[in-house]
A and B are shown apart, each in its own frame.
Chain A
């Protein structure tokens, strides 16, 4: 009887322990949900910067006149990363150019793919596989009229109680013909993290 009780309680304990061990779970989340894992530049900052900048650009009256009868051709120069974090600024410019293209008011040339385009045209012209009458000839592309460029800078301060980071993102639209900056705007983000008092 005693033995039975022992085994029963032992196996019960085992089951209880088994229940305690936590399993790792995979879940789908909202891609636009606010992310606050740590104080570093994150997805929420990227989304905020990209959406504010495109909104500002699209509703600006200057751009309204630029796009009145035509769809100007833009190219994105890189966003200069002047922060103290390794940030993929190409991802920011990708978001901005995608949003602008979606609006239907602008057209883009992609400078990052020039080499690939050249290789393809070379193949069509001299590969010997493509019908030469249908091959795309060199020198037919359209050049950009405007350049989009910007800076991302940050100021980081911390003391024993909290850390504070301030990001400033500046974006400008430059008319390549006249050299005039037609539009500019900036977005600021401030994040602070206060330290916990006690932890393990």
Chain B
């Protein structure tokens, strides 16, 4: 009996030390990230951003999810309009991303994390910020620089975002090539997953290029145009259009710049694909400026934990059921009614430019094979622990091991969960001077005063979360 306790103690100690070395907080062993963030998201939903910031779980800088905590905090600071704080937070997070990219090819500490993950759960592995989250980081950072009227700083962020998007493109083509190559000898594919695991196809939807972020392209195009680089703007507008080919505002921008830059080949091609309403109007009023609405809707949904019971044959050929927890997203998208702008009796509606929920679900789907592989290794390791304890400690050991296995079986539900769900855009040409615009979103009516400068852009960023609606106006 005494030896059993020393053994159990030794096991507990190893786990604690391992989780200590891989430096994730003790909390992560027993509660999932989504559970820890529940209060934060509730406060965010009510528009209490300061309260939400105070509720973010504190993490030390050695913690594997420290970078994620920085992102959540910086995003909430952005919403609370503490742009300076937000800028510092994002800059720190970017520094960490850069550091991890410069790391050695083989990191021993990562190996240790994997060991810890195998005896506890995936939360022990350090969080790598996925590319779509990085593109959002740079987009918000660019807006933070805009609030300080630092266009050249914002353009630096735009270029960084562009590097991220290029990386995303390359990573995606690599993974397609790889999966084509292994198509025949693939051991595990998502299709083989048990029925219990929810399909996320509806969430991912038909987002072409689900890996690239059209909003980031759009924002960078806007900033390039403000900096007097219409050619760069044209390229990014076109990239955004590739992802959202039916967005009328994108079509307008591409058409306008194609004409201004005399892209004759493109014009001929675009004319055949664009609706007549866009290609026919070519009267350009010189005394006009452009107002752009960027509307952020809702909060991206948190990852859920799906528990599966996998039947596995033991060496004695009896079936045993094993509990396995996998992260997932629910298979449906929230529908947001577009913002309606009324000006001089005419109505204009926003159109979607990115669906972050879909990008998040796509990211998870791509990572699923790795998660499942690690899950299987963990099953074997935990079963090994159980068997050893059962052999040495009889029933008590068995019960202890089972409790430990069930309690620590937590899915890795970490993701940047304070991001908006959907982002929509609207542009309108107005004559120079002051204008009052009436907007209506989710039944909330607001009047927004904008000043339009000749041949310049005025940017309105609007956040709509539940009943909370707030906006800022910038003259670019």
Q: Is the CB of A84 within 8 A of B159?
A: yes
Q: Which stretch, A110-118, A168-176, A192-200, touches the partner chain B?
A: A192-200
Q: Is the CB of A196 within 8 A of B105?
A: yes
Chain B residues, CB < 8 A from A80: 152
Q: Is the CB of B105 within 8 A of A197?
A: yes
Query: Is the CB of A2 closer than 8 A to any CB of chain B?
Result: no
Instruction: Write the nearest CB–CB distance from A11 to chain B, whole angstroms.
Output: 29
Partner of B156, one of A84, A158, A198: A84
How many Å lie between the Cα of A80 and that of B229 in the bound state? Answer: 13
Query: Is the CB of A160 closer than 8 A to any CB of chain B?
Result: yes
Chain A residues, CB < 8 A from B175: none
Query: Is the CB of B6 closer than 8 A to any CB of chain A?
Result: no
Instruction: Write the nearest CB–CB distance from A86 to chain B, whole angstroms.
Output: 5
Chain B residues, CB < 8 A from A83: 156, 159
Whether A81 contacts B104 in the complex (CB less than 8 A), given A156-B163, A200-B109, comes out as: no
Chain B residues, CB < 8 A from A131: none
Q: Is the CB of B105 within 8 A of A200?
A: no
Chain A residues, CB < 8 A from B155: 81-82
Report the number of A-B residue pairs with Cβ-Cβ less than 8 Å.
48
Instruction: Write the nearest CB–CB distance from A76 to chain B, whole angstroms.
Output: 16
Query: Is the CB of B160 closer than 8 A to any CB of chain A?
Result: yes
Chain B residues, CB < 8 A from A163: 101-102
Q: Is the CB of B102 within 8 A of A197?
A: no
Quick one: closest A residue to B103, CB to CB? A199
Q: Is the CB of A84 within 8 A of B163?
A: yes
How many Å lie between the Cα of A186 and that of B160 in the bound state? Answer: 24
How many Å lie between the Cα of A73 and that of B452 in the bound state? Answer: 39
Q: Is the CB of B160 within 8 A of A84?
A: yes
Instruction: Write the nearest CB–CB distance from A101 to chain B, whole angstroms.
Output: 26
Instruction: Write the nearest CB–CB distance from B39 to chain A, whole angstroms.
Output: 34
Q: In chain B between 358 and 408, which residues have their CB closer than 8 angstroms to a CB of chain A?
A: none
Query: Is the CB of B108 closer than 8 A to any CB of chain A?
Result: yes
Quick one: closest B residue to A78, CB to CB? B152
Query: Is the CB of A85 closer than 8 A to any CB of chain B?
Result: yes
SS of B interface (majority):
helix
Q: Report the interface size class on chain B.
A: 10 to 19
What's the tally of chain A residues with a CB closer than 8 Å to chain B? 21
Q: Is the CB of A199 within 8 A of B159?
A: no
Query: Is the CB of A38 closer than 8 A to any CB of chain B?
Result: yes
Q: Is the CB of B163 within 8 A of A198?
A: no
Q: Is the CB of A195 within 8 A of B103?
A: yes
Q: Is the CB of A200 within 8 A of B102?
A: no
Q: In chain B between 427 and 475, which residues have their CB closer than 8 angstroms to a CB of chain A?
A: none
Chain A residues, CB < 8 A from B160: 84
How many Å lie between the Cα of A83 and that of B106 in the bound state? Answer: 30
Query: Is the CB of B107 closer than 8 A to any CB of chain A?
Result: yes
Query: Is the CB of B153 closer than 8 A to any CB of chain A?
Result: yes
Chain B residues, CB < 8 A from A81: 152, 155-156
Binary contact track B144-174/A, C-beta < 8 Å → 1, others 0 = 0000000011011001101100000000000
Quick one: closest A residue to B159, CB to CB? A84
Instruction: Write the nearest CB–CB distance from A171 to chain B, whole angstroms.
Output: 18
How many Å lie between the Cα of A199 and that of B102 in the bound state? Answer: 11
How many Å lie between the Cα of A38 and that of B101 in the bound state? Answer: 12
Q: Is the CB of A200 within 8 A of B163?
A: no
Q: Is the CB of B106 within 8 A of A197?
A: yes
Quick one: closest B residue to A89, CB to CB? B152
Binary contact track B92-114/A, C-beta < 8 Å → 1, others 0 = 00000000011111111100000
Q: Is the CB of A198 within 8 A of B108?
A: yes
How many Å lie between the Cα of A193 and that of B108 in the bound state? Answer: 20
Q: Identify the B interface with A (CB < 8 A).
A: 101-109, 152-153, 155-156, 159-160, 162-163
Q: Identify the A interface with B (CB < 8 A).
A: 38-39, 80-86, 156, 158, 160-161, 163, 193, 195-200
7 residue pairs of the A-B complex, CB under 8 angstroms, read A38-B102, A84-B159, A163-B102, A195-B103, A199-B103, A199-B106, A199-B108
